[in-house]
A and B are shown apart, each in its own frame.
Chain A
Amino acid sequence: MSESNFQFKGSVVTTILLEISHFDEMSLIAAIENKVEQAPNFFQMAPVIIDLSKLDQVINLDEFNRLLLHLKNLGLSPIGWRSHETNKPAWQDEVSLPLLPASKTRATRLENNVNQDKANPDVVIKTVVEEKRVAQSSKIISKPIRSGQQVYAEGDLIILSSVSPGAEVLADGSIHVYGALRGRALAGVKGDSNARIFCRSMEAELVSIAGNFILSDALQKILWKESAQVLLNDENLDVVAF
């Protein structure tokens, strides 16, 4: 019954980026005009993002507005702008044009992919999905995990402190403990046999990877109170110093 008449979707569009490195109004406008005249059809109504992130000076609001007007007169349609990362102009909130976030390295890489794989859209989708998965996957905890607490991560679990005896940490992926591991650690709980457990000091009650576990008694005979990693090797758990 809940049929919707619209959908919000994410989309990647290639646009023209006008990157300005030095602002000298007269010569800049003349140069842009010259460029546009070489291919008037290409630039007609073309969306443009004005990028001031590489600009070596600060311009004022009037200068920026005049630039906007000139671009519109030349037939371009500015759709957004980027300011300098650190040296943000005081008037940035007064501009009617949307302020876009600075181009990140990853975003640029994504754009490059789009350009390269124009002919093969399937590949583009794959790349985007993978990036999203990596960004969400690990959980980072900086406080000690106390006795009786249980922490679960869908991807990797990274603990910057210690895991107390009687605490339990679980992850679909690997577990990294940058302190002493004194409680139970279960990695690859959904069956990932490539998951591993790393810790600064191995004092665990139990370690398990993909359902294969060893208890404290056995661990003490292999390695104790040393930094260690635990990995699965044909249904056998290897505990090795590292």
Chain B
Amino acid sequence: MAKIIVVTSGKGGVGKTTSSAAIGTGLALNGHKTVIIDFDVGLRNLDLIMGCERRVVYDFVNVINGEATLTQALIKDKRTKNLSILPASQTRDKDALSQEGVQQVLNELGKTYDYIVCDSPAGIERGAQMALYFADIAIVVTNPEVSSVRDSDRILGILQSKSRRAEQGMDPIEEHLLLTRYHPERVEQGEMLGVADVEEILAIPLLGVIPESEAVLKASNQGTPVILDTESEAGLAYDDAVHRLLGEDRPLRFLEVPKKGFFKRLLGG
């Protein structure tokens, strides 16, 4: 049976789609058959980040409504083996997602895939609730600032009360914290919350810390998941997070302010 992972946050713009693309790609790179589903019906973005926007013919809502088969709608990733994308519909809204329809699609995908990554829309309304309802694992993407932390806290409450696992009294969803857009200098100056502060408030295990990096924006614009950029800190940090998700123990990196080199200091850089 496939593991269903929801990437969620409550707040918008914290890096859910970037993280879904990176983690989905990372799981596939490690040999697991993976599909990433865009649940953001009406605000389709995952296809852009994955660089497959020109290959979208059918979408998630078409499959739910029986207008297309899963095989027709799934887009195989050209760079990474074992990876597929199920794009969202751009012309519909979140009400098009019925619980039965979503369940049917997930069951069907579960037969062939090891991991199903659900890229949740922002908010706590229908789209977000559908994305998290069937999840086994939740990755809560949080930025180190108070409003993001509060929204993550809210979504954790929803995971614990409105998911299938909660409603049916099964084992609770496995929760992971992914701290993104982390800026060690600003933490040091007290402008940003530190890792410990966020961990203390949310009280769930830390999956990884992704440093703020120009590579993320560059990768998004190019349509390449940032995890494929093995020269960037963000790419390496996502790679660490994927390995932690798979059960490996890896130390945290990129939390310290980089020391200025001799020449940089000399030149006042």
Contacts and interface: CB of A to CB of B under 8 A. Distances in A.
Number of contact residues on B: which range applies?
A: 10 to 19
Given A165-B150, A166-B150, A147 B157 contact: yes
Nearest to A143: B160
A149 B157 contact: yes
Nearest to A179: B203
Contact of B153 (A143, A166, A180): A166
Number of contact residues on A: which range applies?
A: 10 to 19
A169 to B, nearest CB: 13
B154 to A, nearest CB: 4
A144 interface: yes
B160 A146 contact: yes
User: B151, B157, B200 — which one has the most chain A CB atoms within 10 A of its CB?
Assistant: B157
B128 interface: no
B201 interface: yes
B156 interface: yes
A238 to B, nearest CB: 28
Contacts of B200: 180
Given A146-B154, A147-B150, A147-B153, A164 B201 contact: yes
Contacts of B154: 146-148, 166
A42 to B, nearest CB: 53
A54 B206 CA distance: 52
B143 to A, nearest CB: 16
User: A149, A164, A165, A167 — which one has the most chain B CB atoms within 10 A of its CB?
Assistant: A164
Interface in A132-171: 143-144, 146-149, 161-162, 164-167
B175 to A, nearest CB: 11
A182 interface: yes
A161 to B, nearest CB: 7
Given A147-B154, A161-B203, A165-B153, 12 more contacts: A143-B160, A146-B153, A146-B154, A146-B157, A146-B160, A147-B157, A148-B154, A149-B161, A162-B203, A164-B150, A164-B153, A182-B201
Interface of A: 143-144, 146-149, 161-162, 164-167, 180, 182
